[in-house]
Amino acid sequence: MKPTDITNPEYFHKVVDCQYACPAHTPVPEYIRLIAAERYTDAYMVNWESNVFPGILGRTCDRPCEPACRRGRVEDEPVAICRLKRVAADNKGEVKSLMPTAPKKKNGFKIALIGGGPASLTVARDLAPLGYEIHLYDEWDKAGGMMRTQIPSFRLPESVLDEEVNYVLDMGIHTHFNTYVSSMKKILEKDYDAIFVGTGAPKGRDLPDVEGRPEADKFVHLGIEWLASVAFGHRTTTSKKVIVLGGGNTAMDCCRTARRLGGEKVTVVVRSPFNDMKASPWEIEDAQREDIPILNNMPPKAFVVEGGKLKGMLFGKVAALYDENGKRSLVPTGEPDIFIEADEVLIAIGQDNSFPWIERDLGIKFGKWDLPVVDRTTFQSTLDRVFFGGDAAFGPENVITAVAHGHQAAISIDLFCRGESVYNRPAPMTNLISQKMGIHEWSYDSAVVEDLRYTVPHAEKQVALKDRKVEVELGFNTSVGFKEAQRCLNCDIQTIFNTSRCIECDACMDVCPTSCITFTANGTEDDLRKRLKAPANNTSQDLYVSGNLNTGRVMIKDEDVCLHCGLCAERCPTAAWDMQKYLYQVSKASPIWSISDL
Amino acid sequence: MTYIKPKFRHPELPKNDLGYVKSDYEGAISTLCAGCGHDSISAAIVQSCFELSIEPHRLAKLSGIGCSSKTPTYFLSNSHGFNSVHGRMPSIATGANMANRDLIYLGVSGDGDSASIGMGQFVHAIRKNVNMVYIVMNNGCYGLTKGQNSATTDLGGFSKAGGLNHYPAIDLVSLAIEMGATFVGRSFSGDKNQLVPMIKAAIAHQGFALLDVVSPCVTFNNKAESTKSYDYVRAHLEATSTIDYVPEKEEITVSYEAGMSALVEMHDGSVIQLHKLAPNWDPRDRFSAVRRLQKAQANGEVLTGLLYIDPESKDMHELEQTVDVPLNSLREAELCPGSSVLERVNAEFR
* Boundaries of every domain in chain B: 22-319
Give residue-wise pLDDT tens across range A191-248. Answer: 999 999 999 998 999 999 999 999 999 999 999 999 999 999 999 999 999 999 999 9
Alpha helical stretches, state H, A210-360: 223-231, 249-260, 281-289
In this predicted structure, the answer to whether residue B258 has a pLDDT above a threshold of 60 is no
Fold of B22-319: Rossmann fold (3.40.50)
> What b/e sequence results for B18-31 when a residue is b if at least 16 CB atoms lie within 10 Å of its CB, and e otherwise?
eebbbbbbbbebbe
Contact at CB, A503 and B35, closer than 8 angstroms: yes
Q: What average pLDDT does the segment A63-70 reach?
A: 96
Residue A209 to residue A520: CA distance in whole angstroms = 64
Q: Is A314 helix (H, G, I), strand (E, B) or coil?
A: strand
The lowest-confidence range among A317-326, B195-204, B240-249 is B240-249
Judging by beta carbons within 10 Å of its beta carbon (0-12, 13-18, 19+), is residue A369 exposed, middle or buried? exposed
What's chain B's Rg over C-alpha atoms? 21
DSSP H or E segment with residue A581: strand A577-585
Contact at CB, A74 and B190, closer than 8 angstroms: no
Q: Which of chain B's residues have a Cβ under 8 Å away from the Cβ of A73? A: 11
Instruction: Provide CB contacts within 8 A for B33, sequence distance 6+.
Output: A573, B143, B217, B218, B219
CA dihedral B346, B348, B349, B350 (to 10 degrees): 90
Count of CA atoms in the C-beta half-sphere (13 A) of A76: 5
Give residue A496's pLDDT: 97
CATH number at A204-349: 3.50.50.60
* A514 at interface of B, judged by CB pairs closer than 8 A: yes
What is the largest distance, in Å, between two alpha-carbon atoms of chain B? 75
- Sign of the dihedral through C-alpha A85, A89, A90, A91: positive
Q: pLDDT confidence of B237, banded at 50, 70, 90?
A: confident
Residue B204 to residue B215: CA distance in whole angstroms = 23
Residue A155 to residue B335: CA distance in whole angstroms = 79
* Interface list for B 163-192 with A (CB within 8 A): 189-190, 192
Contact at CB, A511 and B190, closer than 8 angstroms: no
CA dihedral A403, A405, A407, A411 (to 10 degrees): -170
- Closest-CA residue of B relative to A447 is B2
Contact at CB, A506 and B190, closer than 8 angstroms: yes
DSSP assignment of A177-192: TT-----HHHHHHS--
Partner residues linked to B211 by β-bridges = B135, B185
Contact A145/A200 with Cβ under 8 angstroms? Answer: yes
Contact A345/A312 with Cβ under 8 angstroms? Answer: no
Q: Which of chain A's residues have a Cβ under 8 Å away from the Cβ of B22? A: 515
Q: How many cross-chain Cβ pairs, A to B, lie less than 8 Å apart?
A: 107
Give residue B1's pLDDT: 39
The angle subtended at Cα B294 by Cα B293 and Cα B295, nearest 5°, is 90
Give residue B272's pLDDT: 78
The pairing of strands B302-309 and B237-239 is parallel
Name which of B6, B23, B37 is nearest A505 (Cβ-Cβ): B37
- Other residues' Cβ atoms within 10 Å of the Cβ of residue A331: 10
**Averaged pLDDT score across all residues of chain B:** 91
Q: pLDDT confidence of A483, banded at 50, 70, 90?
A: very high
Judging by beta carbons within 10 Å of its beta carbon (0-12, 13-18, 19+), is residue B271 exposed, middle or buried? middle
Q: Mutate which of A437, A451, A503 to test chain B, going by most B C-beta atoms within 10 A?
A: A503
Give residue B267's pLDDT: 77
* B43 at interface of A, judged by CB pairs closer than 8 A: yes
Residues of chain A with CATH 3.50.50.60: 100-202+353-417, 204-349
The lowest-confidence range among A471-485, B41-55, B173-187, B230-244 is B230-244
Q: Is B18 helix (H, G, I), strand (E, B) or coil?
A: coil
Q: Which of A547, A546, A561 is nearest to A516 (CA)?
A: A561
Contact at CB, B8 and A503, closer than 8 angstroms: no
Contact A549/A502 with Cβ under 8 angstroms? Answer: yes
Contact at CB, B6 and A448, closer than 8 angstroms: yes
Residue A194 to residue A111: CA distance in whole angstroms = 5
The pairing of strands B208-214 and B132-138 is parallel
Give residue B239's pLDDT: 77
Residue B181 to residue B128: CA distance in whole angstroms = 9
Residue B258 to residue B242: CA distance in whole angstroms = 15
Q: What average pLDDT does the segment A39-56 reach?
A: 97
Residue A571 to residue A580: CA distance in whole angstroms = 16
Q: Which of B125, B177, B130 is nearest to B308 (CA)?
A: B177
Give residue A175's pLDDT: 97
Partner residues linked to B309 by β-bridges = B183
The number of residues making up chain A comes to 598
Q: What percent of chain A has pLDDT over 90?
A: 94
Give residue-wise pLDDT tens across range B295-313. Answer: 888 888 888 889 999 989 9
Q: Which of B114, B83, B87 is nearest to B96 (CA)?
A: B83
Judging by beta carbons within 10 Å of its beta carbon (0-12, 13-18, 19+), is residue A529 exposed, middle or buried? middle
Contact at CB, A535 and B8, closer than 8 angstroms: no
**Averaged pLDDT score across all residues of chain A:** 95
Give residue A526's pLDDT: 95
In this predicted structure, the answer to whether residue A597 has a pLDDT above a threshold of 60 is no
The angle subtended at Cα A530 by Cα A524 and Cα A532, nearest 5°, is 95
Give residue-wise pLDDT tens across range A110-123. Answer: 999 999 999 999 99
- Which letter does DSSP use for residue A195 in this model? E
Q: What average pLDDT does the segment A404-427 reach?
A: 97
In this predicted structure, the answer to whether residue B241 has a pLDDT above a threshold of 70 is yes
Give residue-wise pLDDT tens across range B23-33. Answer: 999 999 999 99
Contact at CB, A561 and B10, closer than 8 angstroms: yes
Contact A179/A137 with Cβ under 8 angstroms? Answer: yes
In this predicted structure, the answer to whether residue A595 has a pLDDT above a threshold of 90 is no
Give residue B242's pLDDT: 75
* A506 at interface of B, judged by CB pairs closer than 8 A: yes
Give residue-wise pLDDT tens across range B103-145. Answer: 999 999 999 999 999 999 999 999 999 999 999 999 999 999 9
DSSP assignment of A141-153: SSS-THHHHTS-T
In this predicted structure, the answer to whether residue B51 has a pLDDT above a threshold of 80 is yes
Contact at CB, B7 and A513, closer than 8 angstroms: yes
Q: Which of A343, A265, A254, A346 is nearest to A304 (CA)?
A: A343
Give residue B221's pLDDT: 92
Q: What average pLDDT does the segment A335-340 reach?
A: 94
Contact A560/A73 with Cβ under 8 angstroms? Answer: yes
Residue A48 to residue A593: CA distance in whole angstroms = 9
Contact at CB, A565 and B234, closer than 8 angstroms: no
Q: pLDDT confidence of B2, banded at 50, 70, 90?
A: low
Give residue-wise pLDDT tens across range A554-570. Answer: 999 999 999 999 999 99
The one-letter amino acid code at A154 reads F
CATH number at A100-202+353-417: 3.50.50.60
Which whole-number Å values give the CA distances from A432 to A34, A52, A552, B33, in the listed order? 18, 25, 29, 27
Q: Which of chain A's residues have a Cβ under 8 Å away from the Cβ of B222? A: 503
Give residue B280's pLDDT: 67
Q: pLDDT confidence of B224, banded at 50, 70, 90?
A: confident
Q: Is A208 helix (H, G, I), strand (E, B) or coil?
A: coil
Residue B288 to residue B184: CA distance in whole angstroms = 13
Give residue B300's pLDDT: 83
Give residue A370's pLDDT: 85
Residue A596 to residue B210: CA distance in whole angstroms = 60
* B14 at interface of A, judged by CB pairs closer than 8 A: yes
